[in-house]
Structure 1
Amino acid sequence: MSKVSIRRFARSTEGGLTGICVVFFVGLVIASGGDLLEPNSLRVLLQFLAVPVLIGLAQMVVLAVGQLNLAVGAIGGFAAVAMGVLMVDHGVPVPLALLIGFGLATLAGLANGLLVVLTRINGFIVTLATMTVLIGVQYRLVGTRTVDDYPQALKSFGAYAVFGVLPVIFGVALLVAVVLAIVLRRTVPGRQLLASGGNPIAARLSGISNDRSVILAHTISGAILGVAAVLTVASSPGVNKSIGGDWLLPSFAAPIIGGALLTGGSAVILGTVLAAFIVRFVDTARAEFSLEPSWVNFVVGAVVLGSVVLGQVRTRRQARTQVVKTPDVAVTGGVA
């Protein structure tokens, strides 16, 4: 990597987030007296990062087309509970149950996209409605019980770590991030999706279907949540009606802190992953210093609000700079 590239990265949002992650990690290592460097501590830290990374990516891809997905937790929780019920109550083999749950989450995302396009209702309202419906379905499936009697092999997979440090489920989350980056930046549908989010009018004039991009974004979001549901079932002692209930704030926090624009057109995959680390570090610090759990929501909410404000200021400054740099065009006429 050249010095110019290093300097450019250092000045980018991702570079700043990397620095914050390093400072946070070093501070936590010092505060814990070095215990955080123990293999088991690192394994737990990374294991509980897998799902936050995925739900952040699921929200980010919808933000990329200028939409919001309030049903992130409902889709993931519904899919996770469906997997558990299929395995325990109906004796469905593990691979088939996981595949069905993944398919249900993907279909839920597809349904969100179709409803937004067909009804022309704001995605905020549509996903709020589907969230309410899916929470009801989730409760109908599992009631007040916890489903935990599924095969031990699945739980072993969720707890397995390479060299006792790197959890497999965290590796799966990173693999999803890499695949999403390739889809959004190296494929035609992915580039069209970002173009639709960045400037819908210009995209439409270029022959790009904004409706197709919205449907694709919600479908990809549902598929990512399906993977998150699989990892949740594998790494949790059981699933119940509360699964997914606390996913909404982290799903917005990671991409927004990572630099995603609420107006769409941005794919901040590395930034989303780094921001998920920061949110996890905040939670770890809360546990280390025995603070109230509500402090995590307070800090994360404040950081999200600050990120949105800074993003707006940056956008306006860039727009003002472009106006200043644009030369005046004089229209003159004459008679030959």
Structure 2
Amino acid sequence: MIATVSEREPARSRGILASLSGATGPLIGLILLCVFLSLATDTFLSVRNALNILDQITVLGIMAVGMSFVILIGGIDLSVGSVLALSMMVMGWLANVMGLPLPISILLALVASGLCGMVSGMLITGFRVPPFIATLAMMSVARGLANMITDGQQIVGFPDWFMMLAIDRHFGVLTATVALMLVVTAAAWAFLRYRSGGRMLYAVGGNPEVARLAGINVNYVTIGVYVLAAILAGLAGIVLAARLDSVQPSSGLGYELDTIAAVVIGGTSLSGGAGGIGGTLIGVLIIGVLRNGLNLLNVSPFLQQVIIGVVIALAVAAETLRRR
């Protein structure tokens, strides 16, 4: 039977809602936001400001890739901000206090980050602790360890080449830290799209029991995802240290909320099984552009928190509509 025009309209409307609340919706929102800020300010639409936005989202972008994997399997990780701080402090302590070469210190800092993720993953899979509680506990532990390393003191002073990673623009455009974020994002996108391991994440997030019956080792996948998310959080800490030329245990406070917000705004379902890296990158850009634009408009930092909270609420509401 051929559907009438009136019957096709609701279906068409639902299709539009579904697409706008997936990756297409955030992209349209990003474009509209850029158009508005271009008209509202004189300095937003410039190459210098665009490069500044890229520099500002580097840490968030790397962390958001790991969080995308976690949320895709239906999990959550509240410890990434604290793991970022722990990674920074381990690197700084090993390099400046113990005298180890900085590359080795960075490698050991990433190992420490990965161990945090492994502990969280084992709590979730082995002891059936809810991800929210397991990572909340790790958030406290990692932050405490970060403070214990130097008794809450910051460490300053690293080799010039390390600081130049976040300053020197190759070809006058990209710093090494921004290039690192783009490489991590591209690798994650390719993994999810073209590798069987990426499809496993969607299967686990869609229905863990069905994935188990299909032969997927759900526990192994879960632990691996939390380890990867922690390593990327540690890598983001290294990038932040290069930008600041210092490390301090208070770094990363509240970063987990921005990271989750970027992933959700990008269209990844909080219940797992739906989303992608492309949407996450758009979500990261939305937060970066929004913060940059609000600063250019001289909006109060307190009001900025309110506006970003409203944006997150709208993104979650759109995701709920899509699921319905």
1:250 corresponds in structure 2 to 258
2:33 corresponds in structure 1 to 24
1:232 corresponds in structure 2 to 240
Distance in 2 (CA, whole Å) between partners of 1:157 and 1:16 is: 34
Q: What is the CA deviation profile of residues 149-199 of structure 1, one whole-angstrom value per residue up to 9, with x for unaligned ones?
A: 111210011212223332221121111111112222322222212201111
Displacement after TM superposition at 1:267 (Å): 3.8
Distance in 1 (CA, whole Å) between partners of 2:189 and 2:51 is: 25
2:11 corresponds in structure 1 to none
1:300 to 308, 313, 317: 308
Q: Secondary structure at the match of 1:36?
A: coil
The alignment status of 1:102 with 2:105, answered yes or no, reads no
Residue identity (%) = 26
1:191-270 equivalences under 5 Å are 191-270=199-278
Q: Which runs of 5+ in 1 are unaligned?
A: 1-6, 317-336
1:210–1:14 Cα change, 3 Å? same
1:97-176 equivalences under 5 Å are 97-176=105-184
Between 1:297-306 and 1:151-160, the stretch displaced more is 297-306
Q: Which amino acid aligns with 1:298?
A: V
Q: Secondary structure at the match of 1:166?
A: coil
Q: Which amino acid aligns with 1:161?
A: R
Distance in 2 (CA, whole Å) between partners of 1:16 and 1:95 is: 41
- Is the contact between residue 193 and residue 210 of structure 1 (CA under 8 Å) also seen in structure 2? no
Q: What is the CA deviation profile of residues 247-303 of structure 1, one whole-angstrom value per residue up to 9, with x for unaligned ones?
A: 021111111011111111124211111111111111112211222212222222222
The alignment status of 1:46 with 2:70, answered yes or no, reads no
Q: Secondary structure at the match of 2:247?
A: coil
1:271-290 equivalences under 5 Å are 271-290=279-298
1:314–1:204 Cα change, 3 Å? same
Distance in 2 (CA, whole Å) between partners of 1:274 and 1:210 is: 29
After the TM superposition, list the runs of 4 or more consecutive aligned residues in structure 1 that deviate by more than 6 angstroms: none
Between 1:24-33 and 1:92-101, the stretch displaced more is 24-33
1:39–1:315 Cα change, 3 Å? closer
Between 1:136-145 and 1:70-79, the stretch displaced more is 136-145
Distance in 1 (CA, whole Å) between partners of 2:98 and 2:251 is: 20
- TM-score for both structures, normalised by structure 2: 0.89
Between 1:160-169 and 1:224-233, the stretch displaced more is 160-169
Distance in 1 (CA, whole Å) between partners of 2:274 and 2:151 is: 40
Displacement after TM superposition at 1:93 (Å): 0.8
Distance in 2 (CA, whole Å) between partners of 1:83 and 1:286 is: 34
- Is the contact between residue 154 and residue 248 of structure 2 (CA under 8 Å) also seen in structure 1? yes
- Is the contact between residue 39 and residue 165 of structure 1 (CA under 8 Å) also seen in structure 2? no
Q: Which runs of 5+ in 2 are unaligned?
A: 1-14
Distance in 1 (CA, whole Å) between partners of 2:219 and 2:57 is: 33
1:184–1:307 Cα change, 3 Å? same
Between 1:124-133 and 1:276-285, the stretch displaced more is 276-285
- Is the contact between residue 43 and residue 167 of structure 1 (CA under 8 Å) also seen in structure 2? no
Distance in 2 (CA, whole Å) between partners of 1:40 and 1:310 is: 33
The number of residues matched between the two structures is: 308
- Is the contact between residue 120 and residue 134 of structure 2 (CA under 8 Å) also seen in structure 1? yes
Bigger Cα Rg: 1
1:311 corresponds in structure 2 to 319
Q: Secondary structure at the match of 1:143?
A: coil
Distance in 2 (CA, whole Å) between partners of 1:144 and 1:207 is: 47
- TM-score for both structures, normalised by structure 1: 0.86
Distance in 2 (CA, whole Å) between partners of 1:314 and 1:184 is: 21
Q: Which amino acid aligns with 2:44?
A: L
Displacement after TM superposition at 1:144 (Å): 3.7
Displacement after TM superposition at 1:83 (Å): 0.9
